[in-house]
Amino acid sequence: MVEINRSSFGLSSGQLFQLFRDGQPHTKAELAELTGLARSTISLRLDPLIELGVISPAAENSSTGGRPSTQLVLNERAFVVAGVDFGASHAVASLADFSGKILASIETKRQISDGPEVCLRWMIAELKHLLAGQGIAEENLLAIGIGLPGPVEHSTGKPASPPIMMGWDAFDVPARVNQDFNAKVLVDNDVNVMALGERYASYPDVDHLIFLKAATGIGSGIISGGQLQRGAQGTAGDIGHVRVSSGGGVSCHCGNFGCLEAVASAPAIIKKLVADGLPIRNSSDLIDATKRAKVEAIQAVRQAGRDIGEVLSTCVSLINPAVIVIGGSLASAGEHLIAGVREVVYARSMPLASENLLIVQSKVGKEGGIIGANVMAIDYVLDAETIDSMVNALITK
Amino acid sequence: MVEINRSSFGLSSGQLFQLFRDGQPHTKAELAELTGLARSTISLRLDPLIELGVISPAAENSSTGGRPSTQLVLNERAFVVAGVDFGASHAVASLADFSGKILASIETKRQISDGPEVCLRWMIAELKHLLAGQGIAEENLLAIGIGLPGPVEHSTGKPASPPIMMGWDAFDVPARVNQDFNAKVLVDNDVNVMALGERYASYPDVDHLIFLKAATGIGSGIISGGQLQRGAQGTAGDIGHVRVSSGGGVSCHCGNFGCLEAVASAPAIIKKLVADGLPIRNSSDLIDATKRAKVEAIQAVRQAGRDIGEVLSTCVSLINPAVIVIGGSLASAGEHLIAGVREVVYARSMPLASENLLIVQSKVGKEGGIIGANVMAIDYVLDAETIDSMVNALITK
């Protein structure tokens, strides 16, 4: 039995594997030259990766001719990951390969307040169904990324006092899912996951990005220095309860007063318009009204944009992002919301921080949730440590 | 001539050198085992490091006895770095070894508004003086970290529209210093540098920390996910110009109204107290007045703390730090400033983000500036890439 030293420096199978993440083919000879490792060491490290199937010989390329050494390449279809996005009243489950390509997905209306047992049982059944449909064995599902509509302690995968998720507080999501799948389970709040998805799909080269979701609630995901920032307790980006100047004494469901969410979320805007006599029942009515150029609706959405902009202008001073992306159902209200955001952010921010700042509507929209959940799972699976533990498991089998 | 492949994977001299940063002795045999590298490769990589002097044989330890292989260890005194802290009206220059130990320092009253030529000429002369005093050759000074009291584009080392630094805008600080020293020059704003120093000296295990300086100006340095966050243009943490609710129409030197700095900086508090008839001329008078329990002074400082707390409560929502450190001259006003900060932050933040949050006075105080400037220089020098380029220079000489 060969023991892979996990503390080895830059030379484990998993670390060697990182070279394949560029998607380019490599030969053993080339890797030996590149790393300075002996050919025998290269084989020792690569052979388990080939046995695992995460790298494999590239398709024959007869045109190059005469090259005897085998080209090896990342096998994007070796295993799959799952990305699941739970909203307050909807859920999407999907499978993706290592390139992030969605292989299959299913979407449904579903209340998060039904609790974890019901919601996760649905998810497990659907993932089994999707795997069967693709002809993929369950043990080939290596990781499941899950976005939930509330604060989550990412390190344990447990929701932390989520306001709208009855029965989920401190529920051990990975433990429950692991009763049915022997896969790594990664959980984060939906807005962090959307930030990952938006960056992956639309701004892969941007290292400083704030994604703000404005819908039933208001929250943000922060990518700074190229990393998603979760903070000490995982609540980084939770800006719905920052007090805003127009908030006055408006009471918020969090128990405080004048919070951003209490004045600028979709329910807050609808409540105000209803009080003004407009027949608006839900977010779609509100979006419709702005599209039909109903002036009261446009004014209310624009004011919500200003309130959001007030908080974002502090974020700009603090984080100095290159891009702010606005998503969520309210962002669908045309340019009215973003116009309000821009009005305040550009008025309040220092010139150096705002001169190159982009404030834009989400490009990926709802898709961002499952893209980000899959990206979270893929980043875990392809990490050197994960690959090394797979290699160790193979060798000690 | 041996060519070191800079793209080599985990195996360059500089990368091998990282193993020595724990300060522990290592033998070649142990490194070969740890890394899987051939003994010959280990020697090939280590010999230039020994020739450079950055690692060297450990002092004889005869008590272990009978061990033939040489113990190698990081040579903390091989080279030195310099840490320089410029304030609005003071400057400190220092030398440190690789462990961050300050070898010598000099402090003086000095106006940053004298401009870069005068200030940097002083700095260069003092560093030469300190080096001579320590008997250290100038070529052994490898990097100089400089903190400046204004925004700096860290990647180029050029101040970016600094409000109080006449003549410094876009001045190429590294180019000027390199006329006299062949050393890497790293420049950042003083508050970022103080954040690095406070963390290094007092909270080495904390990955999420906000350092706020309250003095003539108000600014912050943000360490999130273990990294100092500079943002897209290097202005991250620049929170002096966030609007606060007590700011009303108070005009700020930035051209805007109601900024935090316009109501809660030392000059703003002094102006207010003078208008109320108190004989307060400067920050020391203000601190004295709070220590003599002059109620108007205490009230004014506490209100400044509340104003700062209003902005910090948004920072808590956004960053979710484990520790907030308050430094700068106003922090010396006993607990009054921090009491105001805590009052608002704990009232306004979500329970999950504030239940384990520490809000404390700076422990390192003024020292933080030079500690942080030296840490910035040491981190650069000991980085794998820097060591590799030193090795390349040695080999191609």
| B7 and A38 Cβ atoms separated by less than 8 Å | no
CA nearest to A151, candidates A209, A208, A201, A217: A217
Q: Which residues of B touch A36 (CB under 8 A)?
A: 5, 8, 11, 37, 41
Q: Tell if the CB–CB gap between B230 and A231 is shorter than 8 Å.
A: no
pLDDT at A131: 97
CA nearest to A13, candidates A37, A46, A62: A46
Mark whether B101 and B208 lie in a shared domain.
no
CA nearest to A273, candidates A231, A303, A240, A309: A303
Domain finish residue from A48, A75, A102: A75
pLDDT at A306: 97
Mark whether A220 and A331 lie in a shared domain.
yes
Other beta carbons less than 10 A from residue A279's beta carbon: 8
H-type alpha helices, chain B = 13-17, 28-35, 39-52, 116-134, 173-178, 190-202, 260-264, 266-275, 283-291, 295-319, 336-348, 351-354, 368-381, 384-395
H-type alpha helices, B36-189 = 39-52, 116-134, 173-178
Mark whether B126 and B151 lie in a shared domain.
yes
Cα separation values, A382 from A22, A23, A147, B199, B337, Å: 12, 12, 20, 32, 48
Q: What is the CA radius of gyration of chain B?
A: 24
| A141 and A111 Cβ atoms separated by less than 8 Å | no
Residue written as token pair 């890497």:
B184
CA nearest to A185, candidates A112, A127, A115: A127
pLDDT at B68: 55
Sequence letter at residue A315: C
Residue range B242-257: mean pLDDT, rounded: 90
Q: What is the tens place of the pLDDT at every residue in B40-73?
A: 888 888 999 999 999 999 875 545 555 556 899 9
Window 29-68 of B, Cβ < 8 Å to A: 33-38, 41
- How far apart are the C-alpha atoms of A220 and A214, rounded to whole Å? 9
Quick one: angle between helices B295-319 and B283-291, nearest 10? Answer: 100
Best of B154, B209, B242 to substitute, by most chain A Cβ atoms within 10 angstroms, is: B242
Best of B153, B220, B317, B324 to substitute, by most chain A Cβ atoms within 10 angstroms, is: B317
Sheet of A218-224: strand order equals: A227-228, A218-224, A209-214, A323-327, A358-361
CA nearest to A105, candidates A117, A119, A91, A120: A91
User: Facing residues of B106 across strands?
Assistant: B93
Mark whether A353 and A317 lie in a shared domain.
yes
Q: Does A246 touch chain B (CB under 8 A)?
A: no
CATH number of the domain enclosing B35: 1.10.10.10
Mark whether B87 and B71 lie in a shared domain.
no
Q: Do the domain assignments include residue B248? A: yes
Coil/strand/helix, residue A90: strand
Six-digit token string for B354 = 């504030």
Q: Does A300 touch chain B (CB under 8 A)?
A: no
- How far apart are the C-alpha atoms of A142 and A19, rounded to whole Å? 20
CA angle A300, A306, A311 (to 5 degrees): 135
* A310 to chain B: closest CA residue: B243
Helix, strand, coil abundance in chain A, percent, nearest 5: 45, 20, 35
Other beta carbons less than 10 A from residue A55's beta carbon: 23
Cα separation values, B146 from A125, A158, B13, B302, B373, Å: 59, 43, 28, 32, 6
* B161 to chain A: closest CA residue: A352
CATH number of the domain enclosing B139: 3.30.420.40
Mark whether A212 and A353 lie in a shared domain.
yes
Best of A5, A7, A9, A261 to substitute, by most chain B Cβ atoms within 10 angstroms, is: A9
Of B35, B238, B318, the CB nearest to A237: B318
Q: Tell if the CB–CB gap between B8 and A35 is shorter than 8 Å.
A: yes
Interface contacts (A, B; CB < 8 Å): 188
CA distance B105 to chain A (A): 32
Window 355-374 of A, Cβ < 8 Å to B: 355-357
Residues with Cβ within 8 Å of residue A53, at least 6 apart in sequence: A75, A78, A79
Could you please report the per-residue DSSP string of B12-37? Answer: SHHHHHGGGGG---B-HHHHHHHH--
Q: Does A318 touch chain B (CB under 8 A)?
A: yes
H-type alpha helices, chain A = 13-17, 28-35, 39-52, 116-134, 173-178, 190-202, 260-264, 266-275, 283-291, 295-319, 336-348, 351-354, 368-381, 384-395
Helices H / strands E in chain B, number of each: 14, 14
Using the CB atoms, write b or e for A386-396: b if 16+ within 10 Å.
bbbebbbeeee
| Residue of higher predicted confidence among B394 and A271 | A271
Mark whether B211 and B357 lie in a shared domain.
yes
- How far apart are the C-alpha atoms of B5 and A397, rounded to whole Å? 37
- How far apart are the C-alpha atoms of A149 and A331, rounded to whole Å? 18
Q: Does A179 touch chain B (CB under 8 A)?
A: no
Q: Which residues of A touch B9 (CB under 8 A)?
A: 10, 15-16, 18-19, 34-35
Q: Do the domain assignments include residue B173? A: yes
pLDDT at A60: 57
Cα separation values, A262 from A277, A307, B310, Å: 20, 10, 18
Q: Tell if the CB–CB gap between B34 and A8 is shorter than 8 Å.
A: yes
| B276 and B269 Cβ atoms separated by less than 8 Å | no
Mark whether A376 and A282 lie in a shared domain.
no
Domain finish residue from B54, B75, B96: B75
Coil/strand/helix, residue A300: helix
Q: Does B24 touch chain A (CB under 8 A)?
A: no
Coil/strand/helix, residue A277: coil
Bridge pairing between strands A218-224 and A209-214: antiparallel
* B314 to chain A: closest CA residue: A242
Bridge pairing between strands B358-361 and B323-327: parallel
Q: What is the tens place of the pLDDT at every residue in B134-180?
A: 999 999 999 999 999 988 989 999 998 887 788 999 999 999 999 99
Of B19, B241, B352, the CB nearest to A235: B352
Residue B355 CA, chain-centre distance (Å), reads 28
Mark whether A339 and A269 lie in a shared domain.
yes
- How far apart are the C-alpha atoms of A247 and A265, rounded to whole Å? 12
Six-digit token string for B180 = 């006299």
* B311 to chain A: closest CA residue: A314
Q: What is the tens place of the pLDDT at every residue in B10-40?
A: 468 888 898 898 888 999 888 888 877 778 8
Could you please report the per-residue DSSP string of A7-70? Answer: T-SS-SHHHHHGGGGG---B-HHHHHHHH---HHHHHHHHHHHHHHTSEEEPPP-TTT-S--SP
CA nearest to A371, candidates A99, A78, A50, A55: A99
Q: Do the domain assignments include residue A397? A: no
Mark whether B133 and B34 lie in a shared domain.
no
Q: Tell if the CB–CB gap between B318 and A220 is shorter than 8 Å.
A: yes
Mark whether B142 and B104 lie in a shared domain.
yes
CA nearest to A190, candidates A170, A217, A171, A209: A217
Q: Tell if the CB–CB gap between B225 and A222 is shorter than 8 Å.
A: no
Mark whether A247 and A336 lie in a shared domain.
yes
CA nearest to B326, candidates B202, B214, B197: B214
Q: Do the domain assignments include residue B1? A: no
pLDDT band, residue B5 (cuts 50/70/90): very low
Q: Is the pLDDT of residue B380 over 80?
A: yes
Residues with Cβ within 8 Å of residue B305, at least 6 apart in sequence: B264, B336, B337, B338, B339, B340, B341, B342, B343, B344
- How far apart are the C-alpha atoms of A124 and A122, rounded to whole Å? 6
Number of domains in chain B: 3
pLDDT band, residue B97 (cuts 50/70/90): very high
- How far apart are the C-alpha atoms of A68 and A27, rounded to whole Å? 10
Per the structure, the complete domain to which residue B224 belongs is given by 203-363
pLDDT at B8: 37
Residue written as token pair 């995982």:
A234
Of B220, B225, B256, the CB nearest to A227: B225
Six-digit token string for B199 = 């963390």
Q: Do the domain assignments include residue A166? A: yes
Of B5, B227, B233, the CB nearest to A352: B233
- How far apart are the C-alpha atoms of A268 and A266, rounded to whole Å? 5
Quote the mean pLDDT of chain B: 90
CA distance A213 to chain B (A): 14
CA nearest to A54, candidates A397, A391, A372: A391
Of A5, A241, A322, the CB nearest to B317: A241
Q: Does A3 touch chain B (CB under 8 A)?
A: no
Domain finish residue from A56, A75, A94: A75
| Residue of higher predicted confidence among B381 and A66 | B381
Mean pLDDT per 10-residue section of chain A, whose length is 397 residues: 37 84 88 81 89 85 56 90 93 94 94 96 97 95 95 91 88 98 96 96 96 94 95 92 92 91 96 94 92 93 97 96 95 91 94 91 93 96 88 80
| B71 and B57 Cβ atoms separated by less than 8 Å | yes
Q: Do the domain assignments include residue B390? A: no
Of B15, B227, B348, the CB nearest to A225: B227
- How far apart are the C-alpha atoms of B188 and B160, rounded to whole Å? 11
Q: What is the tens place of the pLDDT at every residue in B180-215?
A: 999 999 999 999 999 999 999 999 999 999 999 999
Residue B283 CA, chain-centre distance (Å), reads 24
Q: Tell if the CB–CB gap between A232 and B317 is shorter than 8 Å.
A: no
| A300 and A294 Cβ atoms separated by less than 8 Å | no
CA distance A132 to chain B (A): 39
| A246 and A260 Cβ atoms separated by less than 8 Å | no
